[in-house]
Amino acid sequence: MSEPLLTIEHLEAAYGDARALHGLDFSLNAGETLALIGANGAGKSTLLKSICGLVSNKSGRILFKGKDIAGLPANEIVKQGIALVPEGRRLFPSLSVEENLILGGKVKRSGHWSLDTIYSLFPILKEKRHAPSTSLSGGQQQMVAIGRALMSNPDLLLLDELSLGLAPIIIKDIYELLPKITGNGVTAILVEQDVTRALHSASHFICLQEGHISLSGDPKLHTRDAITRAYFGT
């Protein structure tokens, strides 16, 4: 059994005086898709931001492919092979669709993903390649955001609230494409408000409650009741 791709050891994070993560421990193997669920403010986004380097941590280790990346700045971490699809998409308004994608590939890591393969995955983007990125619909912007992250050919893909602000039918379409994205050997952590959808798409899950892990494991082996209790901390 090879080493886990990602290991989190006693991770603590805080915003000023407010503690967001209280000594988290877990690990993730290559090829797995981990669903990260929990109420608002439970610490899901903070955890993702800690992993990709946007939030600096009070203490703890983040081991990625055996190397501790906890102190590295975000622009170094993406070179290691971790990419984030940010909550709310956060495309660059001054850049076109194609420019957003090209910028995603700036770190020049080799792999399956390129402009051509992204356009095959999301054909509508090829049509709109020169349009200002924020002129697209919510669902299309989400595709650009995903594509932009994939362009760096990450080993670990972090997806923060894919369904935020999107119509149900769009969410359904995007989640149907998820296996194509994770299918190429990409490990993924999925933060998602829609618990059912998250658990359905994942091989493992972690439930955060006020900065602690309240429940984790294989979604199929836990009852809905147990998960609800862990979610709300009852």
Partner 1 sequence: MDWVNAIIQGILIGGLYALFAAGLSLIFGVMRLVNIAHGDLIVATAYLAWVIIKATGVHPLVSLIFVLPIAAFIGYWLQIGIFNRVLGKDILPPLLVSFGLSVIIQNGLLATFTVDSHKLNAGVFETSSFEILPGISIGYFPLLMFFTAIAVIIALQYMFYHTSLGRAFRATSDDTEVALLMGLDNRKVYAWAMAICLAVVALAGVFLAIRSNFDPFMGPGRLIFGFEAVIIGGLGNLWGTLIGGVILGVAQGLGAELDPGWQVLAGHLAFLLVLAIRPRGLFPRIAG
Contact between 54 and partner 1 per CB under 8 A: yes
Question: 89: closest CA among 147, 38, 39?
Answer: 147
Contact between 177 and partner 1 per CB under 8 A: no
Amino acid at 180: K
Instruction: Pick the closer one to partner 1 by CB: 85 or 181.
Output: 85
Q: By the 8 A CB rule, do 30 and 54 touch? A: no
CB of 104 to partner 1, least distance (A): 6
- Single out the residue of 10, 58, 59, 106 in contact with partner 1 (rule: CB under 8 A): 106
Bridge-partner residues for 35, per DSSP? 190, 205
- Span from 6-14, 21-29, 48-56, 181-189 in contact with partner 1 (CB under 8 A): 48-56
Intra-chain end-to-end CA distance of the chain, in Å: 36
- Span from 84-92, 172-180, 192-200, 205-213 in contact with partner 1 (CB under 8 A): 84-92
Contact between 71 and partner 1 per CB under 8 A: no
Instruction: Pick the closer one to partner 1 by CB: 74 or 215.
Output: 74
Contact between 135 and partner 1 per CB under 8 A: no
- The rounded distance, in Å, linking the Cα atoms of 67 and 81 is 12
Contact between 142 and partner 1 per CB under 8 A: no
Instruction: Pick the closer one to partner 1 by CB: 10 or 106.
Output: 106
Contact between 99 and partner 1 per CB under 8 A: yes
- Single out the residue of 43, 81, 86, 219 in contact with partner 1 (rule: CB under 8 A): 86
DSSP string for residues in 97-143: HHHHHHHHTTT---SS--HHHHHHHSHHHHHTTTSBGGGS-HHHHHH
Instruction: Pick the closer one to partner 1 by CB: 128 or 148.
Output: 148
- Span from 36-44, 74-82, 190-198, 224-232 in contact with partner 1 (CB under 8 A): 74-82
CB of 84 to partner 1, least distance (A): 6
Contact between 75 and partner 1 per CB under 8 A: yes
DSSP string for residues in 2-28: PPPSEEEEEEEEEETTEEEEEEEEEEE
Amino acid at 135: S
CA distances in angstroms from 179 to 22, 37, 140, 172, 203, listed in the order given: 32, 19, 18, 13, 12
- Single out the residue of 41, 68, 71, 79 in contact with partner 1 (rule: CB under 8 A): 79
User: Three-class SS of residue 38?
Assistant: strand
Cβ atoms within 10 A of the Cβ of 217, count? 13
Binding site for partner 1 (CB under 8 A): 52-54, 73-75, 78-79, 83-84, 86, 90, 92-95, 99, 102-104, 106-107, 148, 152
